[in-house]
Amino acid sequence: ILLVVSGGCVCCGFLLNQHYNPAFVSLQMMKHAWDNYKRYAWGLNELKPISKQGHSSNLFGNIQGATIVDALDTLYIMEMKEEFKEAKEWVEKNLDFNVNAEISVFEVNIRFVGGLLSAYYLSGEEVFRKKAVELGEKLLPAFNTPTGIPWALLNIKSGIGRNWPWASGGSSILAEFGTLHLEFVHLSHLSGNPVFAEKVMNIRKVLSRLDKPEGLYPNYLNPSSGQWGQHHVSIGGLGDSFYEYLLKAWLMSDKTDEDGKKMYYDAVQAIETHLIRKSSGGLTYIAEWKGGLLEHKMGHLTCFAGGMFALGADGAPSDKTGHHIELGAEIAKTCHESYDRTRMKLGPEAFRFDGGVEAIATRQNEKYYILRPEVIETYMYMWRLTHDPKYREWGWEAVEALEKHCRVDGGYSGIRDVYNNHESHDDVQQSFFLSETLKYLYLLFSEDDLLPFEHWVFNTEAHPLPVLHKDDGNKEENQK
Ligand code: DMJ
């Protein structure tokens, strides 16, 4: 497809041509992000694009190479063959899990296990399957709790786990233990070892037995007592991908996982009743719920829900299909407004609907943008499911803003205040910029038969996993 440049100054050369192919532009962005990572931070977790050196995050302990593993499938999909080859060689020679490291089980699962699984399914290269299973085995001690609800943090050498010290009443976090399902089902499928799937099915069982306040799932659950912590509910941070994985577990099971399906549609019903509101200006938003009281704030993270509602429309009762698509469209519009109402046309971390504002961040510590994908993710789902051209136009607006404000010589950086006239860069190129933001942009501007939804489900870090059909069997059976 070709778009015509809307005018205005855009800093990078290929945007200056009068006609351009947006998928090609996304690929060039990936090349800039990757080349700079390779040049300044190769083998380290992430890149600091201003100071041009490596960035390490304590989420991965001293496991290294987060950007490489997170980017593998994007490189493959964009047909960046040389880069994929060098990434694969790095994985073969250097990706090492025999380290004394305390890691976030959730982050390592979605980025490393998810990245390796997708790389395996796309390329068929055995090394990725082996590494994914090896890492999955390292994560298993996290489930050694009285309920089997895993710890948030795990030392992968000693096998000792614990929870975040800030979490209510020593609880595990819903979005963390609820976002293992897709990867662990695939680990069992590929290893022939049922233990992975058993662990995540047990999480389901524990959750379905519990009483839910107003049908909602609080963000905190104590892994020892099996009781909820504070009754805080969010479809953004701390809750988000739990809901996403209920729907996607059903889709990934070729629509046979009826429990996942029921839990998803019941949860959406409760979310609609208790959390979704319309502003006086007509913007639909998803508030946060604290023990029955609403905080009229929506996180950037929550914007993924537009895509989720639209993706789930198909399985909703037939009289509700259109309604779920409409809900997705309304959330997409609100999130687009949150971008459009800033000076840089990039969305803040959180925006509010109170004190006379709508879709605007009012607190200084909520005005940053860290290259997050959720809004573009929702545009991609909405485009595929409706083909309304406005989603591609909105995606292009995001490309222009990223190029203008986030692109620097040494890669792409987050921004400290999107309402400011001048960029103050945070100096981090997040690994999810390569795995998610750029991949979703590329898919938004590509044909629908690239990773079609009938065959692929994206994990929460945008790593595609194939739908498992009943007659697929597991790896072991296939080898017999
Ligand atoms: C990613 O790691 C995943 O999308 C996760 O579900 C939420 N946060 C980041 C991106 O914003």
> From first to last of its 480 residues, what are the pLDDT tens digits of the chain?
555 444 333 444 445 444 579 999 999 999 999 999 999 999 999 999 999 999 998 899 999 999 999 999 999 999 999 999 999 999 999 999 999 999 999 999 999 999 999 999 999 999 999 999 999 999 999 999 999 999 999 999 999 999 999 999 999 999 999 999 999 999 999 999 999 999 999 999 999 999 999 999 999 999 999 999 999 999 999 999 999 999 999 999 999 999 999 999 999 999 999 999 999 999 999 999 999 999 999 999 999 999 999 999 999 999 999 999 999 999 999 999 999 999 999 999 999 999 899 999 999 999 999 999 999 999 999 999 999 999 999 999 999 999 999 999 999 999 999 999 999 999 999 999 999 999 999 999 999 999 999 999 999 999 999 999 987 765 544 443
| Identified catalytic residue from 73, 107, 257, 426 | 107
CA of 267 from ligand 1 middle (Å) equals: 21
Which residues make beta-bridge pairs with 295? 288
Residue 400 CA to residue 8 CA, distance in Å, equals 9
* Closest residue CA from atom 6 of ligand 1: 460
Residue 216 CA to residue 271 CA, distance in Å, equals 7
CA of 18 from ligand 1 middle (Å) equals: 34
Look at residues 110, 108, 75 and name the one whose alpha carbon lies nearest to residue 90: 75
Distances in Å between the Cα of 416 and the Cα atoms of 1, 10, 36, 349, 413 are: 34, 21, 21, 10, 10
Residue 400 falls in the annotated catalytic set: no
Q: What is the pLDDT of residue 359?
A: 98
* Ligand 1 pocket test, candidate residues 113, 460, 463, most atoms within 8 A of CB: 460
Residue 391 CA to residue 327 CA, distance in Å, equals 15
Helix (H, G, I), strand (E, B) or coil at 219: coil
Return left, alpha or beta for 14; rule: phi > 0 is left, psi -120 to 50 is alpha, else beta. alpha
Helix 81-94 vs helix 66-77: crossing angle, to nearest 10: 150
The alpha helices in 140-192, defined as continuous H runs, are 174-177, 181-191
Instruction: Tell whether 334 is in a known binding site.
Output: no
- 218 and 174 Cβ atoms separated by less than 8 Å: yes
What sign results for the dihedral spanned by CA atoms 469, 244, 184, 127?
positive
Q: What is the pLDDT of residue 472?
A: 78
CA of 105 from ligand 1 middle (Å) equals: 14
Residue ranges around ligand 1 (CB below 6 Å): 110, 241, 301, 372-373, 432, 436, 460-461
Residue 339 CA to residue 347 CA, distance in Å, equals 4
pTM score above 0.85 = yes
Residue 240 falls in the annotated catalytic set: yes
Residue 374 falls in the annotated catalytic set: yes
CA of 378 from ligand 1 middle (Å) equals: 13
